[in-house]
Structure 1
Amino acid sequence: MAYRPAAQPYGHEDPSYELQSRYSQQFDRATPSPASPNSPPPGFLRDQQAHARYSSADLYALEQPPVPAPPSHASGSSLLARPQSNPRAHPDSDDDDEDDGAGFGTYRDLTPAGARGAARYSQPPAFVSHPSATSNYPGYDAHNGSKDAFASTTKFGGETIEAPILSRADWAPGEAAREKHEHSTEKKRRRRQDLAGEVRGVSHGVSGFVRRNWKWLVPLLIFLSVAAIILCWFLVPRTPTITFNSRKVPKPAFTSNDTDPYVSSAEPTSFKFNGNIILALDASDSYLPVKYNSFGLTVRLQETEGIIAQATWGNGEISVPAKRETSYEFPITFYGNYTSASNPTFAAVRAACAHKYATIYRPPLNLTVTVSSSITGVVNAPDRTARLNAVACPVEWASTAS
């Protein structure tokens, strides 16, 4: 407890009385007490000032003028970051009067209950508004102490720089996009320059290595080239040739077991019968077995180049052993559809396969057989062609055929 005389009132000549009167007059003018209809009007504070009691700490606080806060970049953010509410509402605040003991109040005891604690400052603290740290309402940002506001120029540690804070209004139309595009262009240009420098460095290194070691690099390259040629010679299969002139190909090479061939001279004309083509596949030049991924056979007339038979076989159905000549019998269907009986291809087949009479001459057929294939290990295998000349038709039309 501070020392206070028991029965000695303050006199009008006392300095404390003059200071107390000044603050009481200010209080009476600022916040007059509302009048109640049920009670008489209260007396002014100056009439009751004789009953007020102040400690020495109160008098010292009232005599000292308020010290304005020095302006700085950090002061605005730090003051706004702290709640500006009444310290008495927070029991844990360091400004609570109860920490100093009884009787040590401040001049805020005379302040109206609704006044804000920020009124003690003679001028509002410096505040820097930035779109990234505050809301869209500048008035709310300046007076709302519940949200932390930080300026973009705030730096940690001892580093302090001066940088402009630009809002959206400070940018010219399209300026941000142009700066971003220029930055991206500059990055790409530097990246291309770095890549070109690396390529030049590698090329210079390789050329320097070759100049220093060409005496043993040239023989090494020649040896590797010869080795690659030899490996390809033995390891790459060769496309077999086809032939009818082989001891493994029987005579005749064109056969058929069809007992009911069909022919019609009524327009549209047509014919159809089943036959067999026997030919030899010669893989004598290949050091590896030849495996066909696809095998196609096409038969044409030499005189007209008209197709009279076609057949295909799939992957793995036909293979030829290495360094051998192998004969194969390919079953194939001969057919043709034509708009007129005067078609030269139809006329040649109809005459060659006519019913056998003693007085009827059946001309032979001159055929061209083409093999189109795809071989494992060979890129773009060439087509192979063989001719079968003056071969008799293996079937005869019925005597009643038109």
Structure 2
Amino acid sequence: MAKFTFNMPDIGEGIAEAEIVQWHKQVGDTVNEDEEFVDMMTDKATVPMESPVTGKILEIAGGEGDMVSIGSMLVVIEVEGEVPDDVAEESQATAEAAPAPAPAPKAEPVEERIEVETSDASDADDALAADPDPAPQPEPRPAPEPSAQAKVLATPAVRKRAKDLGVDLAQVKPAENGRIRHGDLDQFLSYNAGYGAAAKPRADEEKKVIGMRRRIAENMAASKRNIPHFSYVEEVDVTDLEVLRAQLNSNRGEKPKLTILPLLITAICKTLPDFPMINARYDDEAGIVTRHGSVNMGMAAQTDAGLMVPVIRNAQAQNLWQLANEIARLAEAARTGTAKSEEMQGGTLTVTSLGPLGGVATTPVINRPEVAIIGPNRIIERPMYVTGADGVERIEKRKLMNISISCDHRVVDGWDAASFVQALKRLLETPALILVD
């Protein structure tokens, strides 16, 4: 018998540590060669670790949510006979190549100077108090049979929540794509306050913040802590844009159905050359702003694990149908957890949309180190004054959408952000120009 120590390998350039997301094996279990035994997360990518040997697990580095440094012990395995030389040498090399610990930070003077050339600056459970004499509550309805809910499109988490609440998912109307989400269930409960167990208080629950949710928390905190945000919102008449979209979809053949997002991204890409400070990244430690020629468009996608931002590479070089295909592919990869690490990095500008839940206006948080993020909101219909070609002003029903933008005020001035949005507005309100090269 021999003991083999599997050290945490380097799974990403510049990564010093990784988080234990899920153990597939525990102490005392047998693991086979090339079998996955733990999932580790670095940045926004989850990487499964495979055992190079067959044996019994004697020791593990920690529990889910714990951090493991590159090169340090991840698991100790007892193997029969001797550990192959190449396996032992690789493990030793991993430990020796571990990055050196970062030096303790030096005290910084109160006054700090950042050198950036002026020309380049350019959303819980309610805590319900126990009522000593509570009013009688309606009897909860029995949870539907699994066969009834199996006909409804919903994630396992939504199904479990509906079952706990005694809600028949067949009565819940999905907002989009026929798939019921937590928001759809919330809306159903808000309009059916006395429905089943929804009127009963729910017990407090503590849940450790790990994995993707912790990464999101860390990244958002760093963004708000380091970036002086400002937001700007403008109303856009997208009536003609929606007419164009309907026409394109009616003649699409086997091409994917267009949502408004490919049209918006195309319009953004056509507007950016005149506003290069928007499509940029800011290295605040080095004091350098990099204005990018290509548009690597981050696309915020909601998943059961949390918000992920896959990146559409060279969005400016893709047509509407190519963008529609890439948007669908990346969104599905994000939702299913199959997105590659390189598909989650390198964005230069991000678009975030809540779809049908878009609201009137949003103030999105910048995806650091980018310097701007754009948030299209829900399209609504309302009457407005319109001047026709004959010069006569009349009231018409129009489709309107607010566009929000948040910017890093260290790099982007308010005038520049407003000018960019106004230029984007002109393009969206004259949509034929979107198709002109």
Structure number with the higher strand fraction is 2
Fold shared, TM-score > 0.5 on shorter chain: no
TM norm structure 2: 0.17
TM norm structure 1: 0.18
If you compute each CA radius of gyration, which structure gives the higher value, 1 or 2?
1
